[in-house]
Structure 1
């Protein structure tokens, strides 16, 4: 697999999937995003996307 394929598989799409990955409610995730506490990007159409690797690294640094 090429790096571009690995990177596309690393993406988590939507607040529901992000919340499931980090073990928080959707409301908590929206709050964390609004306050700049999560490394996510809002895509055209309003859907949030995050890198699984960046989310894990973010929480590992905080621990």
Structure 2
């Protein structure tokens, strides 16, 4: 037994292994679109529609959040938002 066996794990850690803490963050990172270009490509299929993204953000019509100055959105939330838009348009 050496000295490191007596050191407690960090408070946010399930185990003392740092890889355990970061493994759950990978799916979230893959779900985030960062910037109007990425959001435009996801929604419209082309980055040239980034101005439309800015207009939707400005009018609070698009579910986004900011990380600093960057506009970000989660793919899963956008897909849910699109599905909701489709349901409300059906009469």
TM-score range, shorter chain: 0.7 to 0.9
Larger Rg: 2
Q: 5+ unaligned residues in a row in structure 1: which ranges?
A: none
Q: Which structure ranks higher in relative contact order (CA pairs < 8 Å, sequence separation ≥ 6)?
A: 1
The list of structure 1 runs, each at least 4 consecutive aligned residues, that deviate by more than 2 angstroms after superposition, is none
RMSD of the alignment, in Å?
1.3
- What is the SS of the residue equivalent to 1:50? strand
Q: TM-score, normalised by structure 2?
A: 0.62
Q: 5+ unaligned residues in a row in structure 2: which ranges?
A: 1-22, 87-91
The alpha-carbon deviation at position 52 of structure 1 amounts to 0.3
Residue 84 of structure 2: aligned partner: 61
Q: TM-score, normalised by structure 1?
A: 0.87
The alpha-carbon deviation at position 4 of structure 1 amounts to 2.6
C-alpha distance in 2 between matches for 1:10 and 1:3: 12
